[in-house]
Structure formats: structure tokens, C-alpha cells
Amino acid sequence: MLLFLCDEVLKVLNSFAVKCFTIKLRFFLFAFYQMLFCKKIYMNRSLLILNIVLLLLVGVLFYLHFSSKDKAVITPAKKAEVASSNTTTDFRIAYFELDSVSNSFTMVKDVKSELSREEDKMNAEMNQWQKRYNDKLAQYQSQAQQMNQVQSENANREMLQLQETIRNKDQELKQRYQDVYMRKMQDVKSKIEAFLKEYNKSKGYAYIFSNEAGFMYYRDTVYNITADLLKGLNAQYTKKK
């Protein structure tokens, strides 16, 4: 629409300019004044037409602005409809006691037993290294009076190397234990998530939280699904075991 108006204005201006500059002049003396006169008329009419176009543009903008604003207005009937739809939405949550799952889920008990055995093995190996160090230290202390300077320096160097070996072994065993612990805990977490995903297909909860000490200050026991969770988890684990 705007392009059409601009084209029409240009056509009027061009036709008027042609008329002014094609008037037959009788005297060359008045030709210059006539050209100025035509230019002045041309400029005045150009400004007039430009103002008209600007007014039309402003009118179009006002129309578009208020028409879009009217479309965005929500009527009271629509507000009531949205409110009623929100109130009928069933937003449900549930929770389970993490301590109860940790104490009563058979898989967690088995994982704790396995980690305890791993820790015992680690401690036993470190005790062997510590005993080796103590035995070597006692040997060199008993021979200290008979050692010369070179032998004493070699003994000190060996003990320092043995200390470094024990430190490295301790870090290695701790890292291995940590890896086993994280992997086992992730397995437990995956089992719980998989069960809850299947369990929630018939329940329709929006969120299911795990409650730990200090996490929730109030909870309605109606939404406690710990018993269902433990029953289902232990049944699945025992079947696969």
C-alpha cells in the first residue's frame, strides 16, 4: 500500500514538472524567471504532497497499532476460562525417605557389604606395606652402630624410597575404592530412577523427591511412597539376583 502511494506521488510530480518546463517561451529574457517560478511551484506542491503522504503513513501506523492491541486484549470470559483450566489441572508430588531406602533396600545392603570387603582388602594391603617399612627400619636401627657412612646413606635413601612407595600405594588404593564406591552408588541410583519411571506411569506425579535430613521442613505423609518403593525395588532385585 505504501509503495503504491509513493508511486502515485512521483507520477504527479513528474507530470507537473514536464508541464512547467515545456511551456513555450516568447522571450529569452523571461525564460529564467519562468524557470524559477516553475521550480518554486514544484517545490511547494512537492512539500504539500509529501505532507499528505506522511499523514497517510501516520494514519496507517495508528491503525496497525490499535488493531494489534485489540487482538491482544483478553476478555473477562477468556480470563475465567484460563483460571478454570488451571484449577482443574492435577499437579501431584510424592517423596520417599532416603534413609529408609538406604537401610532397607537389599541392593544397598549388598553394596555396603561389598564396599566393606573392598575396604578391608585395602587396609590389609596397607598394613603389609607398613609392616615391611617397620621391619626394615628396625633392621637398620639395629645395624646403625656397625654401618659406615656410605652404608648409612644407602639405608636412608632406601627408607625414603620405601616411604614414597607406600604413599603412592595408599593413594592408588583410595582412588580405586572411590571409583568402586561411585560406580556402585550410581547403580543404586539408576535402579531407583528406573523403578520410579515405571511406577509413575500409573500414578501421574509431576515430581518425586528423595527426603534427606534437613531437606524438607514439612511434608504430608499422604504423599510418602517409601513403602511402595521398597516393596517394588526389593521384588525386582530379588528376582534378578
Nearest to 97 by CA among 201, 189, 213: 213
Domain boundary among 87, 113, 130: 87
Q: Is residue 185 located within the same domain as residue 110? A: yes
* Domain stop point among 87, 107, 142: 87
* Same-domain pairing of 100 and 219: yes
The pLDDT confidence band at residue 219, using thresholds 50, 70 and 90, is confident
Q: How far out from the chain centre does Cα 60 lie? A: 44
**Is the model more confident about 176 or about 41?**
176
Q: Which of 87, 112, 143 is the last residue of a domain?
A: 87
Are residues 222 and 105 located together in one domain of the fold? yes
What is the average pLDDT score of the chain? 76
Q: Tens digits of per-residue pLDDT, 164-183? A: 999 999 999 999 999 999 99
Is the model's pLDDT at 73 over the cut of 90?
no
Are residue 30 and residue 119 in the same domain, yes or no?
no
pLDDT range class, residue 45, cuts 50, 70, 90: low
Place 216 in a pLDDT band, splitting at 50, 70 and 90.
confident
Q: What does each C-alpha distance from 145 to 85, 136, 140, 159 come to in angstroms?
A: 94, 16, 9, 17
Domain total of the chain: 2
Does residue 169 sit in the same domain as residue 227? yes
Domain of residue 146, residue span: 93-240
pLDDT, position 224: 95
Q: Which residues of 74-107 are buried (b: 16+ CB within 10 A; e: fewer)?
A: eeeeeeeeeeeeeeeeeeeebbbbbeebeebbeb
Q: In this predicted model, what pLDDT tens digit does every residue of 222-237 receive, in sequence order?
A: 999 999 999 999 999 9
- Between helix 106-143 and helix 226-240 the angle, nearest 10°, is 70
Q: What is the pLDDT of residue 212?
A: 87
pTM above 0.75, yes or no: no
Both 169 and 55 in one domain: the answer is no
CA pair distance 111, 184, nearest whole angstrom = 7
Phi, psi of 233, rounded to the nearest 5 degrees:
-65, -45
